[in-house]
Amino acid sequence: MNDQLGSWKRTHYCGDLKAGNIGEQVCLMGWVQRRRDHGGLIFIDLRDRTGIVQLALDPDRDPEAHAKADQVRSEWVVAAIGRVSPRPEGMVNPKLKTGEVEIEVSELRILNQAETPPFMLDEYTDVAENLRLKYRYLDLRRPAVQECLIMRHKVTRTVRSYLDENGFLDIETPVLTKSTPEGARDYLVPSRVNQGTFYALPQSPQIFKQLLMVSGFDRYAQIVKCFRDEDLRADRQPEFTQIDCEMSFVDRDDVIAMMEGMIARVFREALGVEVKLPMARMTYAEALDRFGVDNPDLRFGLELVDLTDIVRECDFKVFADVAAGGGLVKAINVKGGATFSRKDLDDLTGFVGIYGAKGLAWVKINADGWQSPIAKFFKDEELKAIEQALGAETGDLLLFVADKASIANEALGRLRQHLGHKLGMAKKDDYRFVWITDFPLLEWDEEEKRHVAVHHPFTAPMDEDIPLLDSDPGKARAKAYDLVLNGSEIGGGSIRIHDQAIQAKMFELLGIGEEEARAKFGFLLDALKYGAPPHGGIAFGLDRLTMLLAGTDSIRDVIAFPKTQKATCLLSEAPSPVDEKQLRELGIRLSSRARKGD
RNA sequence: GGGGCUGUAGUAGAGUCGGUUACAACGCCGGCCUGUCACGCCGGAGGUCGCGGGUUCGAGUCCCGUCAGCCCCGCCA
């Protein structure tokens, strides 16, 4: 039989008690982390979200409370009244924040019992993630997991106050909205009132925040859920949260400066880390050239070197053919990498294969020259030129990828990130920010045989590239920018098109016909006719940002109730079938395949 | 859609070459213990080896399929 809370009022949190509280009468409430029964004395580690404090129950001092403590088990919910006392000589526990004190309990109430949990809620037990997710409410009791969500709270709190201080208005946008072409697959919601039609959940509030600028709100911001029905990754969930901002009468540098200030403030208040401003910047072209990717990790070197011109005339047919065919031959120098085993090199070859590279050439620089399957194809002056370009010294390992530009860059760029981490060159508490700018506006989609927007269809071209929209649209650059931290894109945005004619031109370039543009985006095109101010903005991935601040490798760690890789919730068992009646109301009939659960 | 890793008491693991009754740890239950703090000591219970099929005299172990979780490619403006 449980005790009632009665008139008891909690006076302190467990983790807050220290030597300064000695002598005070306190009332504590929480969960039993552990009970240690010495036959006579019983110790209970009482836990709440602030930490743990030790309750001491002495049978001589209070037999009734001691008898109750005898029944108590792990994860039972108890309340205790007692006196904060210093621990006896030599009994201080330095591992505990509250280790200098303990509570001499005079009265104990069992508020609720608990079944033995399916896994131990201590810091020592490693539990399979599917079990953690099924019992997420128990998993969330663990301090390490709570820490991540507390970090998330600190981020949102800081962001909200910064944006408020800078005149941003928090305005909600619809969750039931209109499906748009371009971009990710939409989550659809059937309409009961208008059978046969569907709302879409927003991939982002993009168009609505632009409309708010047209309305004259000047600065908008929202911490908002977004939905994309695409496959999951360690850093991707189907519903995720953006810090979404938009500003009027600004250009790129204004947005960047405002947002740098916000990120610096977040790092100061959430981590105590000072970020040096202004942050570094790099063009997209430079990032690709030096690092092979548009999200470079700048904590280490290992930069890509373009050898295409050096090997153009060489006898190694693979390199020469790629160079002649307009591809790239690039390499990185792994300092001291000559110790890599044959298996290491095979693994690295497999690694670049994932990104489509057909091979990975390697050279070990030994004291007596090149050790390499391809050494024999190169003349002395070519060897020298390659060594010089890469700054090669004895003991180094040179790794080459030759392929069309997109594959050579990505494969070697990913290899660089991989090796940087594997070789311990990326320190966790080293935060290297860089803005990537001057993205291309469009890229050619081979499958669909048309241009698609690199950022999104509302991104403004650079002023000087506007004429290119007619002559050579593939060459036009965008007023777009991404913020990259240690190899992760944490945010991205752009200056938007505020001119109706340019927006219409953009749709045309994307192969969206006038009629389709009208049907899908007519309300935006109309709005742009009624005095849209120049405007632009950005959105940060709150989950990814929090991951980096919390130092975890999985986005699930910073989401209270995350979904599995198959986009299911192991706790609630969503998604699930619905009643036939619900479907009838919506005018929906399932295919026989769907009914069978194929 | 594709590639890879994992799946054995409640938990996390060991289980060799296919061979007797599937191990020890933590947790759980009972007993002892008045200064522990991942307390200690003694005893006990606890198994659909993910699931289905196959090979074999014999399968946790080998083969095929399947399910689930994770990592990755594609996908994610």
Task: Put residue A175 in one of left, alpha, beta given phi > 0 → left and psi -120 to 50 → alpha.
Answer: alpha
Instruction: Give residue A520's pLDDT band: very low, low, confident or very high (50, 70, 90).
Output: confident
CA of A593 to C1' of B65 (A): 21
Q: What is the rounded average pLDDT of the residues A67-85? A: 97
A239-248 and A280-283 strand pairing: unpaired
Instruction: Point out the residue nearest to B68 (C-alpha to C1').
Output: A130
- For A368, the 3-state DSSP assignment is coil
Q: Which residues, including other chains, have CB under 8 Å from residue A394's CB and lie 6 or more apart?
A: A338, A365, A366, A367
Question: Which nucleotide shows the minimum CA-to-C1' distance to residue A459?
Answer: B77
| CATH among 3.40.50.150, 2.40.50.140, 2.30.30.100, 3.60.15.10 for A14-112 | 2.40.50.140
Provide ipTM, 2 decimals: 0.94
Question: Which nucleotide shows the minimum CA-to-C1' distance to residue A71?
Answer: B29
Instruction: Point out the residue nearest to B11 (C-alpha to C1').
Output: A119
Question: Which nucleotide shows the minimum CA-to-C1' distance to residue A454?
Answer: B77
Strand segments, DSSP code E, in A183-267 are 188-190, 198-200, 219-227, 239-248
pLDDT value at residue A598: 46
**Dihedral (C-alpha) A564, A569, A571, A576: value to the nearest 10 degrees?**
-140
Q: pLDDT tens digits for A213-241?
A: 999 999 999 999 999 999 999 999 999 99
Question: Which nucleotide shows the minimum CA-to-C1' distance to residue A185?
Answer: B76
- Helix ranges (H only) for A246-398 are 252-271, 284-291, 308-311, 317-324, 342-353, 380-390
Instruction: Give residue A30's pLDDT band: very low, low, confident or very high (50, 70, 90).
Output: very high
CA of A47 to C1' of B40 (A): 23
Burial class for A258, CB neighbours closer than 10 Å (0-12, 13-18, 19+): buried
Residues in chain A: 598
CA of A38 to C1' of B42 (A): 15
| CATH among 3.30.200.20, 3.40.190.170, 3.30.930.10, 3.30.70.360 for A147-281+483-565 | 3.30.930.10
Question: Which nucleotide shows the minimum CA-to-C1' distance to residue A38?
Answer: B33
A433-437 and A280-283 strand pairing: parallel
CA distances from A285 to A304, A436, A471 (A): 13, 9, 21
| Verdict on whether the full-model pTM lies above 0.90 | yes
pLDDT value at residue A124: 86
What CATH code would you report for A300-426?
Answer: 3.30.1360.30
Other C-beta atoms lying within 10 Å of the C-beta of residue A432? 17
Instruction: Point out the residue nearest to B33 (C-alpha to C1').
Output: A39
CA distances from A589 to A115, A514, A577 (A): 43, 34, 12
Domains of chain A, residue spans? 14-112, 147-281+483-565, 300-426
CA of A124 to C1' of B11 (A): 11
Instruction: Point out the residue nearest to B7 (C-alpha to C1').
Output: A128
* Spatial distance between the Cα atoms of A113 and A242, rounded to a whole number of angstroms: 40
